[in-house]
């Protein structure tokens, strides 16, 4: 685009900074000291298909402030072309794991949301905050250790 006069690099940078700050003030308020990246960059774990229902979405979807961006280890891509939510975390690791091949019991993992697909379960969303913080859980696979910890097993058998 051509303008009436040729601007200097300083003028263009200053104008773009003012434009960006104006947009941020409109979205997050005048007090920049209260702006938090995690609030702008919320990860939204959408339930399929209930995310499409405005009256069920609030119950099934999981939203958690998250760090990162498309260029960090715990990435969270954004869509700057989305005018309503340009900074929302739209694509992140759905499971992170660190495998210790010398000692598999020392391996770690983390997944967003929770271990259960039942929203009435305390484990439906209990891992969302630890996932967003970058925490990990031990990946225990030894049956005796699991049973000693009180882990239960669900066995499904066909009718008939």
What is the reported pTM? 0.78
Q: Do 15 and 70 lie in a common domain?
A: no
Tell me the C-alpha to C-alpha distance, in Å, between residue 1 and each of 18, 62, 140. Answer: 19, 43, 60
Q: What is the C-alpha to C-alpha distance for residues 106 and 116, in angstroms, rounded to an integer?
A: 24
At residue 95, φ and ψ (nearest 5 deg) are: -155, 135
Q: Do 141 and 110 lie in a common domain?
A: yes
Cβ proximity of 114 and 49 under 8 Å: no
Q: Is residue 128 part of a domain?
A: yes
Q: Do 63 and 120 lie in a common domain?
A: yes
Q: What is the pLDDT of residues 89-129, one digit of tens each?
A: 998 888 899 999 999 999 999 999 988 888 999 999 999 99
Name the DSSP letter for residue 126: T
Q: Is residue 103 part of a domain?
A: yes
pLDDT bracket for residue 1 (50, 70, 90): low
Question: For residue 160, what pLDDT is reported?
Answer: 79
Q: Do 29 and 51 lie in a common domain?
A: no
Tell me the C-alpha to C-alpha distance, in Å, between residue 147 and each of 44, 84, 87, 144. Answer: 33, 48, 43, 5
Closest by CA position to 138, among listed 97, 90, 77, 93: 97
Tell me the C-alpha to C-alpha distance, in Å, between residue 108 and each of 6, 62, 101, 147, 150. Answer: 57, 23, 11, 19, 20
Q: Do 49 and 88 lie in a common domain?
A: yes
* Domain coverage including residue 27: 8-33
At residue 18, φ and ψ (nearest 5 deg) are: -60, -40
């Amino acid at each position: 685009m051509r303008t009436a006069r040729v601007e200097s690099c300083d003028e263009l940078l200053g104008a773009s900074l003012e434009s960006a700050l104006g947009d941020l003030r409109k979205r997050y308020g005048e007090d920049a000291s209260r702006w938090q990246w995690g609030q702008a960059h919320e990860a939204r774990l959408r339930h399929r298909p209930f995310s499409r229902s405005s009256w069920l979405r609030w119950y099934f979807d999981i939203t958690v402030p998250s760090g990162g961006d498309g260029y960090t280890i715990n990435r969270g891509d954004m869509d700057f072309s989305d005018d309503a939510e340009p900074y929302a975390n739209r694509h992140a690791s759905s499971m992170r794991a660190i495998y210790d091949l010398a000692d598999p019991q020392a391996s770690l993992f983390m997944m967003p949301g929770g271990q259960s697909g039942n929203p009435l379960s305390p484990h439906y969303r209990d891992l969302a905050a630890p996932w967003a913080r970058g925490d990990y859980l031990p990946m225990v696979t030894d049956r005796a250790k699991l049973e000693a910890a009180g882990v239960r097993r669900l066995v499904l058998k066909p009718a008939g």
